Amino acid sequence: MFTGAVRLKDEVTPDNAACLQHELDWLARCIELRLHSYFQQQPLDLLQQAAAPDLTAAQGSYAAFVRKQQLTTTQRLILLLALAPHLQPQLLDTFFVRNDNLARNFTEFGGCSSKQHQGFLPSAQTAAFLLAANDLSVRLQVIQLLQPDQLLCRDNIIHLRHDVAEEPFLSAQLTVSAEYLQLFCSGTRQKPDYNIHFPAKLLTTPLTWQDLVLPAAVMAEVQHIIGWAEHQDTVMQQWQLSRSIKPGYRALFYGPPGTGKTLTATLIGRQTGADVYRIDLSAVVSKYIGETEKNLATVFDQAQARQWILFFDEADALFGKRSQTSSSNDRYANQQVSYLLQRIEDFPGVVLLASNLKANIDEAFARRFQSMLYFPLPDVSERHQLWQHILGKHVALSDDVDLHYLAHEFELAGGAITNVVRYAAIAAVLRHDRALTQADLLQGISRERRKEGMMV
């Protein structure tokens, strides 16, 4: 026999849960008042009749967020509508009432359907009805609050999801972002991760600048990018150069594979305190018209709000020379490139792009770079440093290992040397040996050279 709620470990504070319950009770009261006044055709000053709970002394992540962002009562109601399907879905069941005159749901209530969720999913139209009913002036204010440059959407607190571009603006499904849902429920904020609708991956590394071996000229250019990221407000605002300099910084990293382009981007983010997200270009390109732009818009909007660094790896896959428009597919491919060019040019943060060959990048796009950094294959002395850094201090080497010989004889990038060390370590473990031998390393080098189509 069921006797009550199951108690989980106390990751959510009782104060936060109590605060959210008061907010949901307020939302329920607002819905009740709005529906009653609407069907009785009586005037209603909603926010006067249903005063918002006072959160001045309330505890928990939700109340702290509302205070920090200084959300208005209108913004709180919109946010609560987006939260309700997650926290108290039955609260919205009243919107399922049918219009007997038309034998269907009320258009003015909005709402969306889902195969998995049996409850009512609010749309922006639901928010407009709750706050405005038939008052067009208030309805216009709600539309303004839901624009991309306004707090709720700009900071990725809520999403408006349109299935078809030509649909009315308010028909979009109203959803709370996974990041803020977790914040309100657990008090922690989860950084977005790669999925079908978010084609970007957070880059992290245990390595430091000491592990990156680059020519001095390249490092000087890297420091220039870091300087912009750390002091752009001074340059643009205090020096008032925003009148003549477009915001944002775009840099191209080009050179052979394994020369440190991705690691450099990651370390720039670490030093400047910014998250670096790598765009998965293969996931971005969609055969469905409009999907590419939608997926990228999600990334760019969040990146601007969170001040991320965007890193496009293998950028020539999408930013290469545009094809002749001999078919509708070609025209759409060029349309995608044009859209990306515009979004990147307008992005006020740092965008880094990596390519194996500079010549593969479209000239129209190349003109938009503030700097272009060539990552060459390391020379002999740099290769010796790389061997030492990658092997580290805790890897045992047999007496026959000669790193000077390996660095002098084999022209390998840092990524290739890492693969060689991985192979040699596995070989040593499989024969129950704690030390890597010269033969292990040479065999690993042979495998790398074969992968690159070189003579062994």
pLDDT recorded at residue 198: 77
In the numeric block, the tokens 């970007």 are attached to 200
What are the residues whose beta carbons fall under 8 Å from the beta carbon of 213, sequence distance 6 or more? 260, 378, 382, 385, 386, 389, 414
**Structure-token pair, residue 78:** 């919109």
Region 402-414: mean pLDDT is 96
Q: Over the chain, what is the mean pLDDT?
A: 88
CB 397 within 8 A of CB 391: yes
Region 282-299: mean pLDDT is 67
More confident residue, 283 or 313: 313
pLDDT (tens digit per residue) in 265-290: 999 999 999 999 998 666 666 655 56
Region 427-451: mean pLDDT is 94
pLDDT (tens digit per residue) in 350-388: 999 998 877 777 776 777 889 999 999 999 999 999 999
CB 123 within 8 A of CB 161: no
Region 405-417: mean pLDDT is 96
pLDDT recorded at residue 19: 95
Strand 158-161, strand 173-176: pairing: antiparallel
Interatomic CA distance for residues 171 and 357, integer angstroms: 45
pLDDT recorded at residue 293: 72
pLDDT recorded at residue 1: 38
Residue 456 has pLDDT above 70, yes or no: no
pLDDT recorded at residue 330: 56
pLDDT recorded at residue 417: 96
CB 13 within 8 A of CB 60: yes
CB 159 within 8 A of CB 299: no
pLDDT recorded at residue 6: 43
Sheet holding 249-254, edge to edge: 200-202, 276-279, 309-312, 350-355, 249-254, 371-374
pLDDT recorded at residue 209: 95
Residue 143 has pLDDT above 50, yes or no: yes
More confident residue, 87 or 332: 87
More confident residue, 108 or 339: 108
pLDDT recorded at residue 269: 97
10 confidence band (pLDDT: 50, 70, 90) = very low
pLDDT recorded at residue 158: 93
pLDDT recorded at residue 405: 97
Interatomic CA distance for residues 449 and 55, integer angstroms: 65
pLDDT recorded at residue 148: 86
336 confidence band (pLDDT: 50, 70, 90) = low
pLDDT (tens digit per residue) in 188-216: 877 777 776 678 899 999 999 999 999 99
C-alpha distance across the termini of the chain, in Å: 73
Residue 2 has pLDDT above 70, yes or no: no
14-40 and 61-69 helices, crossing angle to 10°: 60
Interatomic CA distance for residues 189 and 155, integer angstroms: 13
pLDDT recorded at residue 225: 96
- Residue 301, Cβ density class (10 Å: 0-12 exposed, 13-18 middle, ≥19 buried): middle
Domains and CATH numbers, the chain: 14-186 (no CATH), 200-374 (3.40.50.300), 380-451 (1.10.8.60)
Largest CA distance in the chain: 92
What are the residues whose beta carbons fall under 8 Å from the beta carbon of 236, sequence distance 6 or more? 242, 245, 247
Region 110-123: mean pLDDT is 89
More confident residue, 113 or 171: 171
- Cα–Cα nearest to 122, from 74, 77, 175, 166: 175
For Cα atoms 199, 200, 205, give the angle at the middle one, nearest 5 degrees.
155
Residue 8 has pLDDT above 70, yes or no: no
Strand 98-99, strand 104-105: pairing: antiparallel
CB 82 within 8 A of CB 23: no
pLDDT recorded at residue 194: 72
Region 86-99: mean pLDDT is 94
Residue 78 has pLDDT above 90, yes or no: yes
In the numeric block, the tokens 């034998």 are attached to 103
pLDDT recorded at residue 102: 86
> What string of H, E and C letters represents the secondary structure of the chain?
CCCCCCCCCCCCCHHHHHHHHHHHHHHHHHHHHHHHHHHHCCCCCHHHHCCCCCCCCCCCHHHHHHHHHCCCHHHHHHHHHHHHHHHCHHHHHHHHCEECCCCEECHHHCCECCCCCCCCECEHHHHHHHHHCCCHHHHHHHHHHCCCCCHHHHCCCEEEECCCCCCCHHHCEEEECHHHHHHHHHCCCCCCCCECCECEEECCCCCCHHHCCCCHHHHHHHHHHHHHHHHHHHHHHHCCHHHCCCCCEEEEEECCCCCCHHHHHHHHHHHHCCCEEEECHHHHCCCCCCHHHHHHHHHHHHHHHHCCEEEECCCHHHHECCCCCCCHHHHHHHHHHHHHHHHHHHCCCEEEEEECCHHHECHHHHCCCCEEEECCCCCHHHHHHHHHHHHCCCCEECCCCCHHHHHHHCCCCHHHHHHHHHHHHHHHHHCCCCEECHHHHHHHHHHHHHHCCCCC
